Amino acid sequence: MILIGLLDSPFTRRVAIALALRGIAFEHRAWSVGADFDRIREYSPLGRVPVLVFDDGEVLMESSSILDWIEHETDGDALLPAAGRERREAMRLMGLASGAADRGVAMVLERLFHAEDKRSNALLARSLTQIEGAMTALDAACAARDGQWLVTDAMTLADITVACYTTYLKDAVPLELSRWPALAAFVARCEALDVFRAHYAPFYLPQPKGAKDPA
């Protein structure tokens, strides 16, 4: 089994952590959607990551689809509550984190593909407002749980998603997490775990379009 995608992608990273927690061995191919776009498109026509390639050649794309397979077709503790208020809360938190991460990606792409004087300041400002709103809501959720896992007494996919996506936003936007102390403490707790540390890569932004090479 092969997992394609850099671990500075929060989408790839949460899949890698879920696979590791289930004890599912995989070969990791750290391919970039920039430098390795054509190679990725051999498996995913979208050229996006993560991509999971099974030993028989079957392919799954998008982290939510891969995680659905992990949850329902592999053995191990449940990644999400089966139903009820706890499941709805997990979905709410993942929706906030995922939406914020999507806006973070939009900001990164704006910086990558447009020279500074060609960027849409309106898009960047709107995206930052959306991200900050999500971070405030997640901070409140972390404060309400007061050092516990976010949904149940055990770590769930909601915890993994919030931590991975917040770390990405901290590095890529970048964000100063001290503005959201409960969220910052929660993310630090997750990032100290071996499984998080083993599946991490620092965020790297290629040189933006129109930028001059350093002297």
| 92 and 192 co-located in one domain | yes
Q: Output phi, psi for 131, to 5 deg.
A: -60, -45
This prediction has a pTM of: 0.93
Evaluate whether residue 208 is within a structural domain. no
Q: Can you read off the two tokens belonging to residue 112?
A: 């990558």
Per-residue pLDDT of 80-92, as tens digits, reads 999 999 999 999 9
| 90 and 189 co-located in one domain | yes
Q: Output phi, psi for 96, to 5 deg.
A: -60, -50
* Phi-psi region at 210: left, alpha or beta (left = phi > 0; alpha = psi -120 to 50): left
Evaluate whether residue 43 is within a structural domain. yes
Expressed as residue numbers, the domain containing 38 is: 2-73
pLDDT at 206 exceeding the cut of 80: no
Per-residue pLDDT of 98-129, as tens digits, reads 999 999 999 999 988 888 888 899 999 999 99
| 49 and 110 co-located in one domain | no
| 38 and 114 co-located in one domain | no
Q: Can you read off the two tokens belonging to residue 209?
A: 């379009």
Which of residues 27, 48, 73 is at a domain's end? 73
Evaluate whether residue 211 is within a structural domain. no
Q: Is the previous residue joined to 174 through a cis bond, with omega within 30 degrees of 0? A: yes
Identify the weakest region by mean pLDDT among 35-39, 118-122, 157-161: 118-122
Total domains present in the chain: 2
| 49 and 101 co-located in one domain | no
Q: Can you read off the two tokens belonging to residue 117?
A: 């004087």
| Residue position matching structure tokens 């849409």 | 120
| 88 and 187 co-located in one domain | yes
Give the residue-averaged pLDDT of 23-27.
Answer: 97
Please name the residue ranges forming H helices in the chain. 10-21, 37-41, 63-73, 84-113, 121-145, 157-172, 181-191, 194-198
d(CA 169, CA 58): 32
